[in-house]
Amino acid sequence: MRQAEIIRKTAETDITLTLCLDGEGKGAIDTGCGFLDHMLTLFSRHGSFDLDVKCIGDTQVDYHHTAEDIAICLGDAFKKALGDMKGITRYGSFILPMDESLILTAVDISGRSYLGYDLAIPTEKVGDFDTELTREFFEAFVRHAGVTLHLKQLAGYNSHHIIEGTFKSFARTMKAAVAIDEKNKDKIPSTKGVL
């Protein structure tokens, strides 16, 4: 099983995160932020990743450190669980409708960190979650996972739907990219021989 456990403790957050890439979409998510719990739960379900997250953060300030540090841990977990990347499909993309919103997501597990972010979230908050933290989350993830990730909003006006559609599309995209290519399961998917 391709899995990883990441423990990160700072003055701002105390996080334990476990990830299994070959899971069933099960897990327990407790970030201290209801909206982020919702996003990570549906990420786990739609990606078929078993994901447990426990975070004690300085939420009396806001959710910035919590969201960013969980994304750091999630990126580290993907990188660790993928190991030498042998046999992975490497690329994934998905276009996902979420009511009036339509989100395109594409990833290359390349070892090169880049985020193309083109979401126009109309409100500053969803519940008590600052919507600008969506970008912070994905920035931290790509830096630590070592992936190129593009997120593009093709339609949408409801902030909740845009962010939820993004996390669902991201899940489906990562599921495709980490899948084992049975015809090439003993090969690194790169002409360089490394990722």
Residue 154 is predicted with a pLDDT of 98
Burial string for 65-87 (b: 16+ CB within 10 Å, else e) reads bbbbbbbbbbbbbbbebbeebeb
The runs of H, that is alpha helices, within the chain are 34-47, 64-82, 133-145, 159-178
Residue 127 belongs to what domain range? 3-184
Residue 185 is predicted with a pLDDT of 86
Q: Is residue 190 part of a domain?
A: no
Q: Is residue 149 part of a domain?
A: yes
Tokens representing 148? 């190129």
Q: How many domains does the chain have?
A: 1
**What is the distance between the alpha carbons of residues 17 and 103, in angstroms, rounded to a whole number?**
27
Q: What is the CATH number of the domain that holds 50?
A: 3.30.230.40
Residue 97 is predicted with a pLDDT of 98
Q: Is residue 195 part of a domain?
A: no
1 pLDDT exceeds 90? no
CA atoms within 13 A on the CB side of 145: 28
pLDDT digit string (tens) for 90-113?
Answer: 999 999 999 999 999 999 999 999
Q: Is residue 15 part of a domain?
A: yes
Do the bridges between strand 148-155 and strand 91-98 make them parallel or antiparallel, or are there none, so unpaired?
unpaired
Q: Is residue 65 part of a domain?
A: yes
pTM for this entry: 0.96
